[in-house]
């Protein structure tokens, strides 16, 4: 999902220069040259950074906004997951290299296609010292399954029939049909475990500053002062000896203004931060000798989501024409300051967690270069196209600049593309409230998948899908068939067919693949560099870089 992101205002002269650069065409450049360049190499994205070598009392880490909740089932967003990943663990673990390994469950047995049996570790305790039980696990998963709880991860539970504790250290999940994604989802917040007694006692206050949480991870929630900061404290009884934390405290600040956040990193006020969009001060961060900037493996893509099936973008030919007009290299190179890669499809290379050769071959079918003549022909078929209104986040320079690129391209063929600025505090409502999308034909989204499976990127396009904002149902049956296909090779072929259709019909227009952007100062090292930081205890390996660290 898209999280709050503060605005960087260009001076008039700077903006004019930027537009001139963004609108360059190949005829103005040297033959074969890329006028934009890139700071990102898909084949050289990081997964980890060197673990800290010294204990450290406090690490200060900035979040792009204050979490709305620390309840794992209500945490499908950047700031929330960044914190929860260090506290509330899941049955399985998404590693920095985007592989799925045992977590609170040591193994998963599948006696048949409709049953998964999770065998739990016997040495895990909650922060209060009580043992984690199968009842705690079954309770936690059933919370996600209960429609009254409105879990953000309920989609993964669509084929679940029952969840029961079937032994002292065993939980059995039964399905109504085979499901290829559920087991993988247990490595995300969909499989997070909290203590039943504490959760029930907290009631609606669970995950709030007043109610707190009770989990098993390497850090425990210490204090949360609304509007100011949030502190985690090391769990000295943590079960995983390979991830015993070096830092005694992790203090999270909520600096939302990106210029202020960049300055806080450069001054040393903040030790580190993950950026989900390239900040306007990216070059400053790269040049600062006291900071290290890493680009990591990622499941994030920046796209234009269709929001209205009855507007101009409800016509596939208009969507295809708009997609053909867009200069993705300009967006990746200029808007994203080189910290992005042009995206021909929604699911990029880091999604290829299985059958990589098949997905890599399929990806070569699509390009990212603009095709003005194709766009012209499509629009001629359509005839009169009314105004197209795109929702942009009012605090995002990336949104504003991308809209400028698309508007300029559309004007070449007479398209009237307008923008509607939506305040950052309201932008998240676009994902959950249909009335918030009224008057919009589309909106920009910085979307992240949870799983290294390309099917994850296309599973939203089903009948009544929560995120199927444009009611695109052409692949709904195929998606359900793919989810029910357990053989990886067969499933890959089904997903490739879905990808072909979705890429042709562009219900969501892919623009740029975005790497994870990690900044750490010279005082610390060790944070996870990949998108796994959203579900992996990334702060457990953060420590000092000197034997004596202040």
Distance CA 395, CA 423 (A): 7
Distance CA 162, CA 541 (A): 37
At residue 497, what are phi and psi to the nearest 5 degrees? Answer: -65, -40
3 vs 135, higher pLDDT? 135
Write out the DSSP string of 299-329: EEEEEEEE--TTSGGGSHHHHHHHHHH--HH
Distance CA 325, CA 304 (A): 13
Buried b (16+ CB within 10 A) or exposed e, 67-77: bebbbbbbbbb
Q: How far is CA 391 from CA 23, 315, 323, in A?
A: 22, 18, 17
At residue 300, what are phi and psi to the nearest 5 degrees? Answer: -100, 135
What percentage of the chain has pLDDT greater than the value 70?
Answer: 92
Distance CA 264, CA 254 (A): 11
What's the rounded mean pLDDT across residues 159-181? 98
Task: Indicate whether 546 pLDDT > 80.
Answer: no
Residue 1 confidence (pLDDT): 47
Residue 8 confidence (pLDDT): 25
* Weakest mean pLDDT among 7-21, 161-175, 212-226, 260-274: 7-21
Is residue 115 within 8 Å of 173, Cβ to Cβ?
yes
Task: Indicate whether 507 pLDDT > 50.
Answer: yes
> Counting beta carbons within 10 angstroms of the beta carbon of residue 345, is it exposed (0 to 12), middle (13 to 18) or buried (19 or more)?
buried
The whole-model pTM stands at: 0.90
Is residue 460 within 8 Å of 467, Cβ to Cβ?
yes
Q: Would you call 230 helix, strand, or coil by DSSP? A: strand
Residue that is written with structure tokens 């580190």 in the block: 272
pLDDT per position as a tens digit, 437-456: 999 999 999 999 999 999 99
What string of H, E and C letters represents the secondary structure of 345-381?
CCCCHHHCCCCHHHHHHHHCCCCCCCCHHHHHHHHHH
Is residue 541 within 8 Å of 520, Cβ to Cβ?
no
Residue 35 confidence (pLDDT): 54
* Strand positions, DSSP E, 53-204: 56-62, 92-94, 100-102, 105-112, 115-120, 160-167, 170-175
Query: Which residue in 404, 295, 289, 349 sits closest to 17, CA to CA?
Result: 404
Q: Would you call 399 helix, strand, or coil by DSSP? A: helix
Task: Indicate whether 12 pLDDT > 50.
Answer: no
Token pair recorded at residue 506: 């562009």
The pLDDT confidence band at residue 43, using thresholds 50, 70 and 90, is: confident
Task: Indicate whether 10 pLDDT > 70.
Answer: no
Distance CA 284, CA 88 (A): 35
Q: Is the torsion defined by CA of 273, 342, 509, 528 positive or negative?
A: negative
Residue that is written with structure tokens 């399985």 in the block: 92
402 vs 35, higher pLDDT? 402
Residue that is written with structure tokens 């043992």 in the block: 131
At residue 239, what are phi and psi to the nearest 5 degrees? Answer: -75, -30
Residue 37 confidence (pLDDT): 60
pLDDT per position as a tens digit, 80-127: 999 999 999 999 999 999 999 999 999 999 999 999 999 999 999 999
The pLDDT confidence band at residue 36, using thresholds 50, 70 and 90, is: low
pLDDT per position as a tens digit, 123-165: 999 999 999 999 999 999 999 999 999 999 999 999 999 999 9
The pLDDT confidence band at residue 175, using thresholds 50, 70 and 90, is: very high
249 vs 33, higher pLDDT? 249
pLDDT per position as a tens digit, 62-81: 999 999 999 999 998 899 99
Residue 9 confidence (pLDDT): 26
Query: Which runs of consecutive H residues, i.e. helices, occur in 213-273?
Result: 258-267
What's the rounded mean pLDDT across residues 457-482? 95
Distance CA 69, CA 58 (A): 23
The pLDDT confidence band at residue 58, using thresholds 50, 70 and 90, is: very high
Q: Are strands 272-275 and 56-62 parallel, antiparallel or unpaired?
A: parallel
Terminal C-alpha separation, the chain: 36
Query: Which residue in 490, 514, 116 sits closest to 332, CA to CA?
Result: 514
Q: Are strands 247-253 and 417-422 parallel, antiparallel or unpaired?
A: unpaired
Distance CA 480, CA 348 (A): 21
Task: Indicate whether 56 pLDDT > 60.
Answer: yes
Distance CA 113, CA 236 (A): 40
Q: Give all domains of the chain, ordered by start, each with its CATH number.
A: 12-42+297-514 (3.10.105.10), 45-70+205-296+515-544 (3.40.190.10), 88-201 (3.90.76.10)
Write out the DSSP string of 412-430: TTT--EEEEEE-HHHHGGG
Q: How many CB atoms neighbour CB 399 within 10 A?
A: 28
Query: Which residue in 181, 137, 117, 134 sits closest to 155, CA to CA?
Result: 181
Residue that is written with structure tokens 């696990």 in the block: 137
Residue 48 confidence (pLDDT): 98
Is residue 65 within 8 Å of 79, Cβ to Cβ?
yes
426 vs 524, higher pLDDT? 524
Kindly report the average pLDDT of the chain as a whole number.
Answer: 92
Q: How many CB atoms neighbour CB 452 within 10 A?
A: 23
Residue 31 confidence (pLDDT): 35
Q: Are strands 115-120 and 170-175 parallel, antiparallel or unpaired?
A: antiparallel
Count, residues in the chain: 550
Q: How far is CA 401 from CA 18, 189, 320, 462, in A?
A: 9, 33, 21, 31
The pLDDT confidence band at residue 397, using thresholds 50, 70 and 90, is: confident
What's the rounded mean pLDDT across residues 239-261? 95
Task: Indicate whether 365 pLDDT > 60.
Answer: yes
What is the widest separation between alpha-carbon atoms in the chain?
Answer: 70
Q: Would you call 179 helix, strand, or coil by DSSP? A: coil
Using only C-alpha atoms, the chain has a radius of gyration, in whole angstroms, of 23
Distance CA 473, CA 459 (A): 11
What's the rounded mean pLDDT across residues 443-470? 94
Q: Would you call 300 helix, strand, or coil by DSSP? A: strand
Task: Indicate whether 16 pLDDT > 90.
Answer: no
Residue 380 confidence (pLDDT): 97
Distance CA 42, CA 296 (A): 9
Q: Would you call 102 helix, strand, or coil by DSSP? A: strand
């Amino acid at each position: 999902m898209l999280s709050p992101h503060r605005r960087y205002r260009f001076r008039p002269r700077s903006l004019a220069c930027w537009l001139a650069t963004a609108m360059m065409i190949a005829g103005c450049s040297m033959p074969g040259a890329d006028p934009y360049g890139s700071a990102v190499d898909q084949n050289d994205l990081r997964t980890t950074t060197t673990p800290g070598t010294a204990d450290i009392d406090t690490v200060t880490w900035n979040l792009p906004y204050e979490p709305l909740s620390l309840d794992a089932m209500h945490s499908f967003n950047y700031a929330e997951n960044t914190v929860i990943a260090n506290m509330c663990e899941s049955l399985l673990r998404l590693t920095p290299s985007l592989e799925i390994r045992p977590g609170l469950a040591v193994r998963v047995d599948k006696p048949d296609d409709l049953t998964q049996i999770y065998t739990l570790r016997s040495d895990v305790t909650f922060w209060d010292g009580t043992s984690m039980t199968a009842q705690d696990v079954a309770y936690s998963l059933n919370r996600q399954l209960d429609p009254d709880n409105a879990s953000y991860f309920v989609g993964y539970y669509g084929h679940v029939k029952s969840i029961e504790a079937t032994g002292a250290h065993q939980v059995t999940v039964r399905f109504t049909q085979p499901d290829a994604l559920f087991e993988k989802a247990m490595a995300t917040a969909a499989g997070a475990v909290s203590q039943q007694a504490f959760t029930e006692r907290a009631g609606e206050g669970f995950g709030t500053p007043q109610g707190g949480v009770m989990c098993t991870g390497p850090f425990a929630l210490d204090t949360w002062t609304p509007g100011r900061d949030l502190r985690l404290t090391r769990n000295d009884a943590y079960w995983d000896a390979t991830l015993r934390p070096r830092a005694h405290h992790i203090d999270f600040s909520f600096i939302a203004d990106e210029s202020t956040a960049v300055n806080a990193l450069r001054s040393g006020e903040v030790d580190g931060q993950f950026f989900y969009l390239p900040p306007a001060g990216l070059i400053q961060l790269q040049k600062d000798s006291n900071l290290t900037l890493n680009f990591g493996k990622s499941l994030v893509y920046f796209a234009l989501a269709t929001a209205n099936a009855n507007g101009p973008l409800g016509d596939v030919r208009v969507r295809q024409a708009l997609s053909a007009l867009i200069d993705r290299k300009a967006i990746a190179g200029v808007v994203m300051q080189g910290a992005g890669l042009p995206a021909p499809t929604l699911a990029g290379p880091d999604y290829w967690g299985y059958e990589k050769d098949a997905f890599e071959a399929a990806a070569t079918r699509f390009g990212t270069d603009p095709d003005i003549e194709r766009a012209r022909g499509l629009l001629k078929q359509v005839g009169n196209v009314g105004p197209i209104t795109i929702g942009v986040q009012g605090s995002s320079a990336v949104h504003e600049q991308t809209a400028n690129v698309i508007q300029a391209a559309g004007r070449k063929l007479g398209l009237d593309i307008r923008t509607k600025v939506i305040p950052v505090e309201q932008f998240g409502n676009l994902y959950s409230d249909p009335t918030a999308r009224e008057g919009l034909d589309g909106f920009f989204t910085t979307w992240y998948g949870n799983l290294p499976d390309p099917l994850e990127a296309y599973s939203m396009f089903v009948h009544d899908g929560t995120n199927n904002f444009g009611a695109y149902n052409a692949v709904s049956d195929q998606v359900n068939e793919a989810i029910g296909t357990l053989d990886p090779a067969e499933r890959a072929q089904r997903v490739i067919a879905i990808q072909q259709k979705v890429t042709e019909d562009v219900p969501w227009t892919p623009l740029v693949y975005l790497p994870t952007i990690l900044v750490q100062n010279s005082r610390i090292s060790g944070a996870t560099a990949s998108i796994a930081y959203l579900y992996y205890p990334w702060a457990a390996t953060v420590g000092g870089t000197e034997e004596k660290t202040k």
